Structure 1
Amino acid sequence: MGKTILIIDDDPDIVEAIQMTLEGTGYATVVTQKAEEALSKALECSPRLIILDLLLSGYDGRDIAQNLKNTDRTKTIPLLMISAHPDAEQRTKAVGADAFLAKPFDIYQLLAIVEELTEDFSKHDS
């Protein structure tokens, strides 16, 4: 498994910032802005980490998270949920998110969480 990270967010500015940051540190990224593509993209690219927004146009990211965590091929992939919603952290932990990052976020904070989650995943994957 490579160093691919799947980003699921409908805000192009957030996606661009995350992509530039991750690709600048050696990660490959796959992006979807469509909630209904989340599971198929995850199955297709076998990412090392999934970054998922809590609120996507017309969709609740918690439903997507539950779907990912209930699917055999994606349930062990670390899931980082992001949101600007004030009570989002508790809500994301309840659906199996491995970490939470509040928007707006510091790029170094994002990288620290990504490194931690991908390192932990590599240990379980070997």
Structure 2
Amino acid sequence: MPKGFTVPSILNPAAVWPVIMLFASNVFMTFAWYGHLKHKSTAIAIAVLGSWAIAFFEYCLAVPANRLGSDYYSTAQLKTMQEVITLIVFSGFSVFWLGENLTWGHAIGFVLIAVGASFIFRG
């Protein structure tokens, strides 16, 4: 790269990969925690064991995401990102997997949480 040229942070792999990995890990965790609700007739012990098995893959992504991400983000920023990612993933999951509707109240609440979270990334 030319001298003095810096890659915008949004394109920096050190900044992007932890976010991608946190999104992927959150998909696994959301299914581990809530996926069984679509199959309530399944015995609870099977639901717990299945959830643990799914959560293993969440940990295989979340732990390295946080380890890699800690080189670029503070732990408060990583945790805040994870919470906002949770809301995004959960919103899609509840609509597409569980068939639930999101209301304006949900949207407003999620936006307020995201706005609050944005303060973690300021100076």
Category of TM-score, reference length = shorter chain: 0.3 to 0.5
**Larger RCO, structures 1/2 (Cα 8 Å, 6+ apart):** 2
Higher helix share: 2
TM-score (normalised: structure 1): 0.34
TM-score (normalised: structure 2): 0.34
**Greater Rg by CA:** 2
